[in-house]
Amino acid sequence: MGRQRQPQIRQRLLDACTDYSLENGLPDKLESLAAATGTSSRMLIYHFGTRDGLLREILGQARQRQLQTFTALISLRPDEPYPATLARAWSAVSGPEGAPYLRMFNRLHDTAGEPLWPGFRRAATTDWLAPLETGMRSLGRPELATVVLAVIRGLLMDLDATGDTARTRRAFHDFLGTIDGT
């Protein structure tokens, strides 16, 4: 008779693996995840089936955390002009709070990430359109949501490639000046 699965242990392991991966990036080998969780690679395979299965679940949980945090940041607030909301959101997304997510999801934006998360690039784009559209509607320009998202994504790619925080921050604030006057 086999051992009964224990979902609470599986969830604890997934939480610990996600925390580790957000801090250090997705590992190539299970051993680092096993060490971080205080278990063995064998137990990780027992709970998640395969290394790729575990990595997919880590990515999914990290994405849920990111969606909760950043959707709240870009959502329209009745007490604040939307460009101010976007400025605050940019500081979080491009700063230390957003860095673990950018590090983790960056490799999924090219075709190498496709096996781990098919369709990630599309989902990572369209996830943010509804709250951006709502926010831009407050400025009378909901159709600019795609432009705002493209600027954010482009500047995040620039920041990742160059590390030039001051220049990308200035560029984003310059962009905000153009939509604030629309």
Q: Express each pLDDT in 18-30 by its tens digit.
A: 999 999 988 888 9
Identify whether 2 is part of a domain: no
* 17 occurs within a structural domain: yes
Residue of 103, 107, 102 lying closest to 152 (CA atoms): 102
Q: CA 54 to CA 46: how far, in whole Å?
A: 10
> What is the predicted pLDDT for the residue at 43?
93
Q: 1 in a domain, yes or no? A: no
DSSP-H helix ranges across 75-163: 82-94, 99-106, 120-126, 129-137, 145-162
Note the pTM of the prediction, 2 decimals: 0.83
Residues 31-54 have pLDDT tens digits of 999 999 999 999 999 999 999 899
Tens-place pLDDT, residues 63-108: 999 999 999 999 999 999 999 999 999 999 999 999 999 888 876 6
Average pLDDT, the chain: 89
Question: Is 72 part of any domain?
Answer: yes
Chain-centroid distance of CA 131 in Å reads: 15
- Is residue 151 situated within a structural domain? yes
**Residue range of the domain that includes 75:** 7-180
Q: Which among 49, 57, 89, 48 is positioned nearest to 72, based on CA atoms?
A: 89
CATH number for the domain that contains residue 161: 1.10.357.10
Domains: count for the chain:
1
Whether residue 42 is contained in a domain is answered as yes
Query: What does the pLDDT read at residue 1?
Result: 47
- CA 48 to CA 30: how far, in whole Å? 11
Nearest to 54 by CA among 42, 66, 65: 42
Give domain status of residue 108, yes or no: yes
